[in-house]
Structure formats: C-alpha cells, structure tokens
Chains A and B, each alone.
Chain A
Amino acid sequence: MTGLTFRKKAEPEQRLDLSGLTAGRLAGLSASEIAALAIGTTRETVRVGDMFDLSGDDPASIRFEGGSERFDRVGEAMETGEIIVDGDAGVRLGRAMTGGRITVTGSVGGYAGSVMGGGVIDIRGDAGERLGAPLAGERSGMEGGTIKVGGKAGARAADRMRRGTISVAGDAGPDAGSRMIAGTLIVGGRAAGTPGRLMKRGTLILAGGAERFAPTFLDNGPADLLILKVMARSFSAGEVGSVPFEDMAMRRLGGDTAVLGLGEIFLPL
C-alpha cells in the first residue's frame, strides 16, 4: 500500500468541500469510487476525478499535490491518519478533528482547527481568522490537540478555546484569545487589538508584546514561574517544538475581570 495522492489538475472555479477525503471516510473505497465522490459546493457538480489525478491506495496517508485557498474543510472530523497539503488550503481545515495529523506547507483560510478535540495541525504558512475558534453559536472553540503556525494568524485566534495548545510563530491578528475558557496560546510576534478580551481562564503568552490591553486586566508584576519552565520543556519535547518564551523573563497580567477574571497573559518583562 502506498499513500493516497490527489494531484491538483487545475485551479477550481468553485470552492470545494473536501471533508469527505479522510482515512475514515475513504476506507474501503476503490479508486473509481473515490473519483466519483462529489466535492462541489454549487449547483454545478464537481467530482474528485474532475479536480484531481489519483494515485496510491492507502487513505491513512493522504497527500494533496498542489493546494488552493478554495480547498475547504480538509481533514474535517478526521480521527486518525495523516493528511499533507503541498500548498494552500481553504477554510475549516481540520475542524472538529479528534486525532491524526494535518500538515500544510502553505497558508490556510479561516477557522482552521475549529473545535478540534485532538491531533496535530501544522501550518507552515499563515492561518486565517479565528484559528481554533468555534463556528457561530458553538460554546467552545478548540478542545484539545495542538496547532502550530509557522507564519502569522488572523483575528481572534484561540477564541473560546477550552483546551490544547496553539503556537503561532509570527504576529497575531486583533483580539487573540478572546473569550478564552482555558488552554494555551503562544504568540511569538506581536498581538494586535485587545488580546484576551472577555477571557475567563486560560493562558496567553505574548512573547512579542501587544498593542493594548483592556483596563479589566491587572498587572501582577514580574512572574518567574515554574509553570512556564515546565511548559517550555514539555512543549520543546513534543509537537509544539521550541517556544519563544523559553528563558524569557516575563510579567503577568490577570483578567478579564469584566467576567471571571482568572485568565492570564504573560508578556516580556
């Protein structure tokens, strides 16, 4: 068995729903059955075979050769296996996934890792808005697992996050960590807007500082805390990899006291 490869034939004219192309959903399907799967999002039917040349046969290891910002819902709800996208991906990458690993060499659209419960998403480029965040109405965002972004993230990363770790190497768009319930967001670059707005609990580590904070965050002063050391060691040894705050002297802010106020933001001292 060799991994299943979808080679992009041409740039799609419509957005594609690729949520059906995961190990669990493709198990037991023949190449011709896979080629016949509908992936369109408009009245005009588009099938896998129209968009991709297929090779290989093992759905536990899927590769998209050539990506597109119109490749939506890649790895949605996946439970196991690996997906690699050589190029960009669209919205809702890895939404609600519970296990396995997705690697994207390019950039992705909004809502990557939305409400994911487990597994690993590794985005080498940039992530769009609402990384790990819930869709409308959902009460919690990311619930577990790891998201790693090599570039920058869009607005509201880690919104309503409840568990797991997000690490963004570059800058974060406005209002990162909004309404956080728990979990950890690490930003290597600078955070725009008002990070942590309405956060109840959880940890924001903003190694590159931030634009501003709400007055309902209170300065707790320098914080040379063991937990940071333990986290840094633990992350370095795991999927997250090296973190920007290792050995960095930090200051802690507590808030948002407009709500529960038990969240924390770490900044360089």
Chain B
Amino acid sequence: MPELSEPMVVNGISIDDSFAEAFPMSGTAIQITAVNEKWALQAATTMTGFATSVIACGCEGGIERLLSPDETRDGRPGVRVLFFGFDPGGLEKQVTTRLGQCILTCPTAACYADLDTEQSIDLGSAIRYFADGWQISKKFEDKHFWRMPVMEGEFLCEAKTGVTGDGVGGGNLLLMARTVDQALRASEAAVAAMRNVRDVIMPFPGGIVRSGSKVGGKYKGMMASTNDAYCPTLKGVTDSALGPEIGSVLEIVIDGLTADAVSNAMRAGMKAVVDLGPEEGALRIGAGNYGGNLGPHHFHLKELAP
C-alpha cells in the first residue's frame, strides 16, 4: 500500500500523493465502418465484448470514439476501436478471432487499419481463407485489402494494421466517495471526460470497474483477488486504506497507445472529478500501484491534478 503522506486538496477533494503504476502492452487500432452509425457501433460493441482484462479475456479492448464519415476510409460512419495485449502475437490472435466472428459476420461492416507503425499484425490476411479461394487481394496506393465474397455482398478488410509496443495498460484512478451514488456519479463524469482523449480506452463496463483487485490471493491459483484495502465493508478487519468517511470506491482503468495518452486521460478524468466537487461526487482520488517496482510507468496524481 502506498503511503498516504501529504495529500493535496483541490476544490475540497483530497488527492493522494500516489501514482498509478502501469505496464507496457502491445496496442493496435482499427476502424470499423458500416452503412450507418448503428451498425458500425453494433459491430464494434460486439467485437469489444468480453475484453475487459487481458488476464481472463486474452486482450483488453474498447471503442475509442465514433468517427464521422469525413474521417473514415470509405466515407461511411465508423468507430475507432483499440485493443491491447501482452505481445503482438497474442494480440493478433485475439483481434483476428474477434474480427472473424464479429465484423465479418456483421451486416455492411468493413474493417480498416487505423494505426500506422512499422510493425503490423494481420487483419484480413488472417481470415481470408474463409472465402474459400474466392478471396481477392487488392493492393493500391501502398494499401493492401482483402475482399471476401459473403452472402450479403463483399466484405472489405484491410490486410494488416499497425501494432505498437509503446502501449500502456493499467493507468487508473480510484474514486472514493461517501456513497455508491456519489462514487458512480464521479466515475461517470470522469469517463465521459476521458472519452474525449485520443488513443485511450477504458475497457471495463461503461469504463468503470467496482472490483478492483490486488495481485494473488489466499486460494491457490488465484492470480488476483478483491482489493480488500479498498473494500469499505472490510474497514477494521483488514489493513484498510480507507478512512471512516469513505463508503464506496470505484476504479477507472485506462489503456493507451502511448504513455502520454494515458496521462492525458487521467488528467481529464481528475479534472472532471474535481470540477464535480465533493458533495456531488468523490471525496478523494487515489491510484493503484504495486509499490513502484513492477511497472515502468508511474503516473503521479499530483502531477496530473488540475
């Protein structure tokens, strides 16, 4: 547990002298378009389902933002989706499996690369054989597409997309409030603000996780277990990090394509929480870490505070 020395107070909200400890991840981005926003979102939502934590889901993924027709490759409404994994290989496996099950299958959806890096992972190249020999490779203007005849028409998918090793997983904020309602209001305000930041996703439901965890547990084989120091009902029976005023804690986890993107998201989130004030939202902002020895990225709350 971090030392809670000298909190700073902004707008009546206490900000821990702590930091979010985050890890390098492989990250990638794609663009999903469809005939309208509804179907683009449908494809993206389906593809990013069950992608909250890399430990159990194989990857972490989420919708970065909606794209206007001006921003997409084919002039249709679209969605930018990010995925993160431990390594490019594992990430590729997850992305291509999801691509095959969720985009290939989705009416009118098309899929394009949306990250320009030296290294790449397969998109269409991995699933082209579904077309049973009828797949068409199309290269022009330095781009490579696969076209796959499907019952609806033709599924268009870029061959590859970029992948970065500079991705960061595990940026976080702990929002501590008197009540569940206040914690949730603060969290929603933070997530809404963070969604305006580029190159990040908050992979948990609605961007928020209530079951923050610590590493390991008393039962054999548990890689993570409930973060008892922040569980309000365990105050007194465990080595709690919570004072008597805190009745509920929610966490926002952030994955970004760069460390800067994660900083920006945390900064935006903290500002939203601070602006909301202690009456409406959180009394205190903290962050999860492991003492600083495990993850190379340390996002200090005080430096990001508004």
Query: A residues within 8 Å of B by Cβ?
Result: 163-165, 182-184, 201, 203, 224-227, 229-231, 233-235, 238, 240, 262, 264
Known contacts A226-B74, A227-B154, A229-B75, A234 near B136 by CB under 8 Å: no
B153 touching A225, Cβ below 8 Å:
yes
Known contacts A225-B153, A226-B110, A227-B154, A233 near B74 by CB under 8 Å: yes
Nearest A residue to B33 by beta-carbon distance?
A226
B160 CB within 8 Å of chain A: no
Smallest CB separation, B150 vs chain A (Å):
12
B138 touching A203, Cβ below 8 Å:
yes
Smallest CB separation, B142 vs chain A (Å):
9
Known contacts A203-B138, A233-B73, A262-B136, A227 near B145 by CB under 8 Å: yes
Nearest B residue to A237 by beta-carbon distance?
B141
Nearest B residue to A118 by beta-carbon distance?
B142
B75 touching A233, Cβ below 8 Å:
yes
Hey, which chain B residues are within 8 Å of A165, CB to CB?
A: 140-141
Hey, which chain A residues are within 8 Å of B140, CB to CB?
A: 164-165, 184, 231, 234-235
B143 CB within 8 Å of chain A: yes
Smallest CB separation, B123 vs chain A (Å):
14
Nearest A residue to B143 by beta-carbon distance?
A234
Nearest A residue to B133 by beta-carbon distance?
A262
Q: State the CA gap A230–B145 with chains docked (Å).
A: 10
Hey, which chain A residues are within 8 Å of B38, CB to CB?
A: none
Counting from the closest, the 4 A-B pairs by CB-CB distance are A226-B156, A234-B141, A230-B74, A238-B141
B137 CB within 8 Å of chain A: yes
Subset of 21 A-B contacts with CB under 8 Å: A164-B140, A165-B140, A182-B137, A182-B139, A184-B138, A201-B136, A203-B138, A225-B153, A225-B154, A225-B156, A226-B154, A226-B156, A227-B138, A229-B75, A230-B156, A233-B75, A235-B140, A240-B141, A262-B134, A262-B136, A264-B136
A235 touching B138, Cβ below 8 Å:
no
Q: State the CA gap A227–B153 with chains docked (Å).
A: 11
Smallest CB separation, A183 vs chain B (Å):
8
Smallest CB separation, B179 vs chain A (Å):
50
Nearest B residue to A262 by beta-carbon distance?
B136
B267 CB within 8 Å of chain A: no
Q: State the CA gap A234–B138 with chains docked (Å).
A: 13
Smallest CB separation, B107 vs chain A (Å):
13
Hey, which chain A residues are within 8 Å of B75, CB to CB?
A: 229, 233
Smallest CB separation, A185 vs chain B (Å):
11
B128 CB within 8 Å of chain A: no
Main secondary structure of the interface of B (DSSP, over half): strand
Hey, which chain B residues are within 8 Å of A262, CB to CB?
A: 134, 136
Hey, which chain A residues are within 8 Å of B143, CB to CB?
A: 234
B147 CB within 8 Å of chain A: yes
Residue in A164, A226, A233 with the greatest tally of chain B CB atoms within 10 Å: A226
Q: State the CA gap A264–B136 with chains docked (Å).
A: 10
Further contacts, 12 of them, CB under 8 A, given A225-B153, A225-B154, A226-B74 = A163-B139, A164-B140, A183-B139, A227-B147, A229-B75, A231-B138, A233-B75, A234-B73, A234-B143, A235-B140, A235-B141, A240-B141
Residue in B138, B140, B145, B156 with the greatest tally of chain A CB atoms within 10 Å: B140
Smallest CB separation, A160 vs chain B (Å):
16
A230 touching B73, Cβ below 8 Å:
yes
Hey, which chain A residues are within 8 Å of B141, CB to CB?
A: 165, 234-235, 238, 240
Hey, which chain B residues are within 8 Å of A182, CB to CB?
A: 137, 139
Hey, which chain B residues are within 8 Å of A235, CB to CB?
A: 140-141
Hey, which chain A residues are within 8 Å of B145, CB to CB?
A: 227, 230
Nearest B residue to A230 by beta-carbon distance?
B74
Nearest A residue to B145 by beta-carbon distance?
A227
Residue in B75, B138, B153 with the greatest tally of chain A CB atoms within 10 Å: B138
Smallest CB separation, B236 vs chain A (Å):
61
B136 touching A229, Cβ below 8 Å:
no
Smallest CB separation, B299 vs chain A (Å):
38
Smallest CB separation, B206 vs chain A (Å):
32
Within 8 A of A (CB), among B253-302: none
Q: State the CA gap A234–B74 with chains docked (Å).
A: 9
Q: State the CA gap A182–B136 with chains docked (Å).
A: 10
Hey, which chain B residues are within 8 Å of A238, CB to CB?
A: 141
Hey, which chain B residues are within 8 Å of A164, CB to CB?
A: 140
Residue in A227, A234, A235, A240 with the greatest tally of chain B CB atoms within 10 Å: A227
Nearest A residue to B144 by beta-carbon distance?
A163
Within 8 A of A (CB), among B106-162: 110, 134, 136-141, 143, 145, 147, 153-154, 156
Within 8 A of A (CB), among B213-227: none
Nearest B residue to A165 by beta-carbon distance?
B140
Q: State the CA gap A224–B152 with chains docked (Å).
A: 11
Which of A224, A229, A240, A264 touches B74 (beta carbons < 8 Å)? A229
Hey, which chain A residues are within 8 Å of B139, CB to CB?
A: 163, 182-183
Residue in A183, A201, A224, A230 with the greatest tally of chain B CB atoms within 10 Å: A230
Hey, which chain B residues are within 8 Å of A163, CB to CB?
A: 139
Hey, which chain A residues are within 8 Å of B147, CB to CB?
A: 225, 227
Hey, which chain A residues are within 8 Å of B138, CB to CB?
A: 184, 203, 227, 231
Q: State the CA gap A95–B74 with chains docked (Å).
A: 34
Smallest CB separation, B72 vs chain A (Å):
10
Q: State the CA gap A133–B156 with chains docked (Å).
A: 29
